[in-house]
């Protein structure tokens, strides 16, 4: 192998290792970190992207997990920590960010990220609560088919988590309709006193598979900024769906 080929291979491996270490990295950052020219960095990243070792979301490159895990599609359904776009939501909004999915009448937390928004809060993943008790659960319920919703809401009562939790099934149904119409859910200390939460659905093939949310003390989420937060969450939700489809090559 010629010396220039060895040098190029070494640079490519350094770039690949750098992308693998970071939760999103730009072309400019690669140039700076490894001291490469723009043309060299671009050529290496383009080659890695073409070979599906990395993928690009907007201006950032991420490691392509399916190249390093034969069962990525199965793993991705349970390991939301591998979705880089969730970290981007947390960094953009600078709030604790969560993903949860439905399991029966329960909400199961599948991802939790706190400042400085670089790692999962593993001790919170797997935590359970009732779907009706939080924005993240309510937005999932609001997007269920009618027969599934009727079955879930036919239970004897809606168990409260705080004094603010919905307990009237009839009023709750109207609340879910409003959530579906507005496209996001909000809870005002309904699960944890002093904490407010905003959530939007995550779709795959037009079916809700989970929900994305941010939570913060009441003074950080107010009536004046709820819609702004929801708008950013919707952008994040679409990015998660796109990333999922990119990674499993649908």
The per-residue pLDDT for range 41-67, each reduced to its tens digit, is: 999 999 988 887 887 777 888 777 555
Question: Of all residues in the chain, what percent are helix, strand and coil, respectively (each to 5)?
Answer: 45, 20, 30
29 and 89 co-located in one domain: no
- Structural domain tally of the chain? 2
Domain that holds residue 17: 3-63
Domain of residue 45, CATH code: 1.10.10.10
116 and 138 co-located in one domain: yes
DSSP code, position 26 = E
pLDDT at 68: 55
Angle, in degrees to the nearest 10, between helices 146-153 and 169-182? 150
8 and 114 co-located in one domain: no
Nearest of 226, 201, 202, 203 to residue 215 by alpha carbon: 226
pLDDT at 70: 45
59 and 114 co-located in one domain: no
In a domain, 194, yes or no: yes
Chosen domain end from 63, 89, 107: 63
pLDDT at 77: 45
198 and 170 co-located in one domain: yes
In a domain, 230, yes or no: yes
177 and 93 co-located in one domain: yes
101 and 128 co-located in one domain: yes
In a domain, 69, yes or no: no
pLDDT at 10: 87
Chosen domain end from 36, 63, 90: 63
25 and 48 in contact (C-beta within 8 Å)? no
145 and 238 co-located in one domain: yes
pLDDT at 167: 84
In a domain, 72, yes or no: no
20 and 143 co-located in one domain: no
Which 3 state secondary structure label does DSSP give 246?
Answer: helix
pLDDT at 44: 92
Chosen domain end from 14, 30, 63: 63
170 and 228 in contact (C-beta within 8 Å)? no
Percent of the chain whose predicted confidence (pLDDT) is above 90: 46
Nearest of 152, 138, 141 to residue 199 by alpha carbon: 138
The whole-angstrom separation of Cα 85 and Cα 113 is 12
Q: What residues of the chain score a pLDDT lower than 50?
A: 1, 69-78, 250
pLDDT at 223: 85
138 and 191 co-located in one domain: yes
In a domain, 71, yes or no: no
pLDDT at 75: 41
CB burial of residue 85 (10 Å; 0-12, 13-18, 19+): buried
85 and 153 co-located in one domain: yes
The whole-angstrom separation of Cα 158 and Cα 181 is 22
In a domain, 39, yes or no: yes
Domain of residue 175, CATH code: 3.30.450.40
175 and 139 co-located in one domain: yes
The whole-angstrom separation of Cα 165 and Cα 159 is 8
């Amino acid at each position: 192998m010629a010396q220039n080929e060895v040098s190029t291979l070494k640079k490519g491996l350094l770039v690949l290792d750098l992308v693998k270490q970071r939760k999103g990295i730009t072309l400019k950052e690669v140039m700076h970190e490894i001291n490469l020219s723009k043309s060299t960095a671009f050529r290496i990243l383009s080659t890695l992207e073409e070979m599906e070792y990395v993928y690009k979301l907007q201006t950032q490159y991420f490691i392509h997990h399916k190249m390093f895990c034969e069962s990525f599609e199965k793993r991705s359904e349970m390991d939301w920590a591998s979705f880089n776009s969730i970290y981007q939501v947390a960094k953009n909004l600078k709030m604790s960010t969560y993903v949860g999915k439905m399991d029966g009448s329960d909400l199961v937390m599948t991802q939790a990220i706190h400042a400085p928004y670089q790692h999962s809060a593993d001790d919170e993943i797997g935590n359970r609560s009732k779907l009706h008790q939080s924005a993240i659960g309510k937005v999932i319920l609001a997007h269920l088919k009618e027969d599934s919703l009727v079955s879930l809401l036919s239970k004897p009562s809606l168990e409260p988590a705080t004094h603010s939790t919905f307990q009237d099934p009839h009023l709750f149904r109207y609340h879910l309709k409003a959530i579906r119409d507005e496209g996001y859910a909000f809870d005002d200390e309904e699960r944890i006193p002093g904490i407010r939460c905003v959530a939007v659905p995550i779709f795959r093939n037009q079916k809700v598979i989970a929900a994305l949310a941010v939570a913060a003390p009441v003074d950080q989420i107010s009536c004046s900024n709820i819609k702004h937060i929801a708008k950013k969450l919707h952008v994040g939700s679409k990015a998660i769906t796109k990333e999922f489809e990119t990674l499993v090559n649908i």
